[in-house]
Amino acid sequence: TIYESELLEYDAEKRLESSEFHARLEPTSELFASISACFWELEAIWRSSADQEA
């Protein structure tokens, strides 16, 4: 029926959108991971310099 084919098209579009969304999300999570790693390194440096001053 027409209804079934529209439903299938809608389903295919949703799948495509979600896979594009995940493809976009992946680099973002990698970027976030590298930023947080950078932050932890900076914090460790800051703590060690604070320890040296004390």
The domain ranges of the chain are 1-54
User: What pLDDT shows up at residue 2?
Assistant: 78
CA dist 39 and 35 (Å) reads 6
CA dist 21 and 12 (Å) reads 14
User: What pLDDT shows up at residue 51?
Assistant: 87
Whether the full predicted model's pTM is greater than 0.85, yes or no, is no
User: What pLDDT shows up at residue 23?
Assistant: 73
CA dist 32 and 18 (Å) reads 20
pLDDT tens digits for the chain (54 residues)? 778 888 888 888 888 787 777 777 777 888 888 989 999 999 999 999 988 877
Which residue blocks in 1-54 are alpha helix, DSSP H? 2-53
